[in-house]
Amino acid sequence: MNPILQQAPSNDETLSSAAEFFSTFGIAELFNRSAGKGKGVPPVRIMQFLFALVFLRKTFFEMMRENSLPWGKDTFYRFLSESRINWRRFLLVLAKRLLDTFFLPLTVERRDRVLVLDDSAYPRNRSKKVELLSKCYDHCDHRHFRGFRMLSLGWSDGRSFLPLAFSLLGSAKEENRLFGARETDGRTRGAHRRKEAVMKTPEAALVLLDAVLSNGMKADFLLFDSWFATNQFLHSVHRKGVHSIAMVKDFNSMQFLVGREDGTKKRMKLSGLYGKVNSVFGKKDILGSVLVEVDNGKNSPEPPLPVKVVFVRNRKSGAKREWLAILCTDTSVPDEEVVRIYGKRWSIEVFFKACKSVLRLSKEFQTRSYDSMVAHTSIVFLRYMMLSFELRRSEDDRAYGELFCRCCEELEDISFVASLALLLEMLKSAVQAGIAMTEAILERMFTEFVRKTPGFLRNKIGVLAAFSMS
């Protein structure tokens, strides 16, 4: 994402790209459906101005001090705090349009398309009276912070990442919430967002997954790390018709069912499960795999879920006998494919880094309203969508559309004419030399002709020759 911002020679060119992005995908129309009608300045114009702030290399407070805002500051704060705007619907409908009209036509059918789930810290350490401000734990830095956890769900084909939906989660425990929520009309989207903010993380993740699937977006797998890999969550995702690939750790809560010789099943932790793998540490990164089952609790009537656990060597660890485990609910996928597909999860980490370092996530506004933080985060997600679109368009030749197709057709015509001229030249030389056109000589000439033709013509000629001989 950095190259796009670095290569932009001027603000005017960047803003023209943003204007083209808005007009190409009809973003104003989609936003008006989610925002509704109101008095005063149209909400879509305010959203477009806030969207472009990061590309102007100016902050909202700098423009406010310079008295260069197009409207009063209260206009912006009222817009950000509006609880009736359905930001999630806006992002999902736009993402569906981007996928259907741009990303999916550039993705071959054999390439795996995945959904990626993860959370990241949304710090507000200096705040005291922010709605639903909570004491959260950062698993990366191993410390507590004030703020929220931004639970995000995105789509990836291994080359592009597109954010789909998010939820700013406070603490599900009331004693860990440092400030309460203000009263809102229960019929508004703001009230629904506040209820979702105090859900447990697995429950909120399933809400995001339901929203994405109900919007018509499909994927082959859902990727997530070990913090979400529990027996109950795996069963919940599987009931929605989506396979899971996740990193698993040796937790006491993660139990596997292993069959015995007498037909009974034994519960086993991950460390004990590794002893069932018949392999030794060597040069290969994949150490082996084992087929087991995962139940949904001891007293659950639901049948166990068959899974495959793939053990791989931990390259980053200093210990020689150190391993990592990746779980897949689709047992037909080969071990190498499980590892390769799980590698696509890294795209959401790049997304989090770009949002915080480049797109000013949680730094552009310091409002106290929960709706304001949701609105600002949605605008950041919209900025990343545009960067993903521009990055794919600049790197993928097929995204140049009609111009690329015409160039390909012209090159094919040139290659065919050159190949036909070669064949005529060979026949002319043979006639001038007085060589008798026996079957063996003609076959040798045809073989030489085929060898010097381009690859796409060589395949066609081979098929025609085989058809004529049959």
Overall size of the chain counted in residues: 470
Question: What is the Cα–Cα distance from 144 to 115, expressed in whole angstroms?
Answer: 28
Where does residue 380 rank: exposed (0-12), middle (13-18), buried (19+ CB within 10 A)? buried
Dist CA 64 CA 70 (whole Å)? 10
- Six token digits for residue 32: 């008006």
Q: Are 167 and 124 in contact (CB under 8 A)?
A: no
pLDDT the model gives residue 32 = 93
Rounded to an integer, what distance in angstroms lies between the CA atom of residue 204 and that of residue 207?
A: 5
> What is the predicted pLDDT for the residue at 451?
67
Output b/e per residue, 350-365; b: 16+ Cβ within 10 A: ebbebbbebbbbbebb
Radius of gyration of the chain (CA): 29
CA separation for the pair 445, 155 (Å, rounded): 52
* Residues 122 and 147 sit within 8 Å (Cβ to Cβ): yes
CB 181 within 8 A of CB 131: yes
- Residue 33: how many other CB atoms lie within 10 Å: 11
Helix (H), strand (E), coil (C) string for the chain: CHHHHHHCCCHHHHHHHHHHHHHHCCHHHHHHHHHCCCCCCCHHHHHHHHHHHHHHCCCHHHHHHCCCCCCCHHHHHHHHCCCCCCHHHHHHHHHHHHHHHHHHHHCCCCCCCEEEEEEEEEECCCCCCCCCCEEEEECCCCEEEEEEEEEEEEEECCCCEEEEEEEEECCCCHHHECCCCCCCCCCCHHHHHHHHHCCCHHHHHHHHHHHHHHCCCCCCEEEECCCCCCHHHHHHHHHCCCEEEEEECCCCCCCEEEECCCCCEEEECHHHHHCCCCCCCCCCCEEEEEEEEECCCCCCCCCCEEEEEEEEECCCCCCCCCEEEEEECCCCCCHHHHHHHHHHHHHHHHHHHHHHHCCCCCCCCCCCCHHHHHHHHHHHHHHHHHHHHHHHHHHCHHHHCHHHHHHHHHHHHHHHHHHHHHHHHHHHHHHHCCCCCCHHHHHHHHHHHHHHCCHHHHHHHHHHHHHHHC
How far apart are alpha carbons 390 and 61 in whole angstroms?
A: 28
Q: Which residue has the tokens 């993660």?
A: 254
What are residue 258's phi and psi, to 5 degrees? -115, 130
Burial 280-298 (b: 16+ CB within 10 A, else e): eeeeeebbbbbebebbbee
**pLDDT tens over the chain, length 470 residues:** 333 333 333 445 556 778 889 999 999 999 999 997 777 889 999 999 999 998 888 888 888 888 889 999 999 999 999 999 999 999 999 999 999 999 998 887 778 899 999 999 999 998 889 999 999 988 888 889 999 999 999 999 988 999 999 999 999 999 999 998 888 877 888 899 999 999 999 999 999 999 999 999 989 999 999 989 999 999 999 999 999 999 998 887 788 988 887 778 888 888 888 877 755 445 578 888 899 999 987 777 889 999 999 999 887 755 555 889 999 999 999 999 999 999 999 999 999 999 999 999 988 888 899 999 999 999 999 999 999 999 898 877 666 554 445 444 444 444 555 666 666 777 777 777 777 777 777 777 777 766 666 555 555 455 444 434 44
User: What is the CATH number assigned to the segment(s) 2-399?
Assistant: 3.90.350.10
What pLDDT does residue 184 have?
80
pLDDT score for 372: 95
Using the structure block, give the residue that is written with the tokens 């020679």.
9
With beta carbons less than 8 A apart as the criterion, state whether 245 and 327 touch: yes
**170, 133 in Cβ contact below 8 A?**
yes
Q: β-strands 221-224, 243-248: how paired? A: parallel
Tell me the sheet residues that pair with 427: none
Give the number of other CB atoms < 10 A from CB of residue 213.
15
Paired residues of 119 in beta bridges: 151
Pairing of strands 323-328, 305-313: antiparallel
20 phi/psi in degrees, rounded to 5: -65, -40
Which tokens is 463 given?
């098929």
Rama region for 430: left / alpha / beta (φ>0; ψ in -120 to 50; rest): alpha
Which residues sit opposite 169 in a β-bridge?
A: 149
